[in-house]
Amino acid sequence: MHALELVRDQIGAYVYPVHRLDRATSGVLLFALSAEAARELGGAFARRTVEKRYVALVRGAPPDSIRVDHALSQEGDKPPQPAATNLRTIARYGRYALVEATPETGRTHQIRRHLKHLSCPIIGDVRYGKGDHNRLFRTRYGLHRLALHASSVTLDDPATGSAVTIRAPLPEILRTTLEALEREAAGAA
């Protein structure tokens, strides 16, 4: 069952999708209760007044902070589209790191592709990542998913105009994987 159907069935009303995620990504999803609210929120996304924050576990040594301004090609014969993502390293675990990503644009697989562009693919990414590292995390930590999580979305409430931040806690498997990496890094120090 899709998230839209689950939410609709839980609240007993039709909902309008506003913020979607790649199938393998966890975190904040946004739905509106009216077509008007969905249009207003969709406009805020189009105007780039919505701040989205993601966390990702990556292989490699990303810079402490960087703005990746790298156009991304689309399917077909369309020219590459401008794309920018701000990245900040939160923690380092030897060959791996936890980064926070704040996209300025909303291109398909933007964060995943920008991290690959930096030679820091996301763990569990079967399309842009590395199979040997993905297998290691499946075997050692039981992580059988993409290590990308939409941690928060900040926007202006269409009804009040007040800034609202919606947060989603890390799924347990990501939390326990990070805890294990922290223990291992502390033991190696």
Catalytic positions: 22
Q: Which residues contact 15 (CB under 8 A, 6 or more apart)?
A: 4, 7, 8, 31, 32, 33
The length of the chain is 189
Strand partners, 146: none
Please, are residues 55 and 171 in contact by the beta-carbon 8 Å criterion? no
Please, are residues 171 and 149 in contact by the beta-carbon 8 Å criterion? yes
Distance between CA atoms of residues 177 and 140, nearest Å: 9
117-147 per-residue burial string, b: 16 or more CB within 10 A, e: under 16: ebebbbbbbeeebbeebbebbeeebebebbb
Distance between CA atoms of residues 88 and 159, nearest Å: 33
Place of tokens 């069935």: 9
